Amino acid sequence: MTLATDPDPHAGASARLHALVPSAGIGERSGAVGPKQYEMLGVRSVLGHTLAALDRVSRLSSVLVVLSPGDTQFAAHLAGFDAAVVHRGGATRAQTVRNGLDALLQHGARGDDWVLVHDAARCLVRPEWIDALIDACLADPVGGLLALPVADTLKVEREGRVESTLDRRAKWQAQTPQMFRIGMLVDALDRAGPDVTDEAGAIEAAGHAPRLVAASLENFKVTYPADFELAERLLRAR
């Protein structure tokens, strides 16, 4: 999927859907030698599995991967995928996403188009989960995100000991993709600043209430050393 271009981007076309994959991090907690998105899981890298899932979502008009300015490893891992690339990663995730949104707009996306921001490291995402998010959000005035109701008891830590227990009722664990209108998300990120940790948080801070769309425990973000082995086992089981 290449970035769509339109000589008159406001000429009555219906809103399109774009995927934006921030992939500029170095994965400090992963224990990997290099950026964790390039670690191999079977025949593909973490990023490769992510792009393979997005490639199977037919309603996406384009896929854009946002890399760090000095990234020289991406070419081998993007081979075979119709994804565009920009080297505009920022110091934080929010800055990387914001730069990616600018790139989408510069290449013909419109402010009323939808963008699905998806973590490169959530490599077990399934196309049907993404389609469920799209179905739930296309007619929504705000948009929403994949998420998982919290099942475990939550503890607050203080100096290695439990300080308190949180009520887990009505608590959800945010996942990605997170789907919002490009213009709304640009405004929200500009207001929230560079340290907001996900797109839904920026949208919330702007006074909106994103829709929660239930996903799967398998849609976890590869973060720690043990996560690579678990992800590979789950991929083999598929």
Does pLDDT of 4 surpass 60? no
The string of pLDDT tens digits covering residues 163-173 is 999 999 999 99
For residue 29, pLDDT over 70 is answered with no
Comparing 143 with 225, the larger pLDDT belongs to: 143
**Average pLDDT value for the chain:** 91
**Which stretch of 16-20, 118-122, 224-228 has the lowest confidence by average pLDDT?**
224-228
- The pLDDT, as a whole number, for residue 26 is 65
* pTM for the whole structure: 0.90
- 194: closest CA among 67, 86, 47, 89? 89
At residue 31, the pLDDT reads 44
What's the mean pLDDT in 74-85? 86
When pLDDT is cut at 50, 70 and 90, the band that residue 32 belongs to is: low
| C-alpha closest to that of 219 among 115, 126, 120 | 126
Q: Does domain 17-237 have CATH number 3.90.1150.10?
A: no
Average pLDDT of the residues in 199-228: 96
Q: Is the pLDDT of residue 202 over 60?
A: yes
What pLDDT score does 2 carry?
A: 43
Cis upstream peptide for 177 (omega within 30°): yes
What CA–CA distance (Å, rounded) separates 56 from 161? Answer: 45
Per-residue confidence band for 94, with pLDDT thresholds at 50, 70 and 90: very high
pLDDT of residue 34: 65
- Give Cβ neighbours of residue 111 (< 8 Å, ≥ 6 apart): 105, 181, 182, 183, 186
**Angle (nearest 5°) at CA 142 between 141 and 148:** 130
C-alpha dist (Å) from residue 194 to 22, 41, 136, 153, 190: 14, 31, 28, 31, 8
Residue 80 has a pLDDT of 83
Residues 102-150: tens digit of each pLDDT: 999 999 999 999 999 999 999 999 999 999 999 999 999 999 999 999 9
The residues spanned by each domain of the chain are 17-237
- The CA distance from 217 to 227, in Å, is 13
Looking at residue 197, what DSSP letter applies? S
pLDDT at 33: 52
Q: What is the mean pLDDT of residues 67-84?
A: 87
State pLDDT tens for residues 182-199.
999 999 999 999 999 999
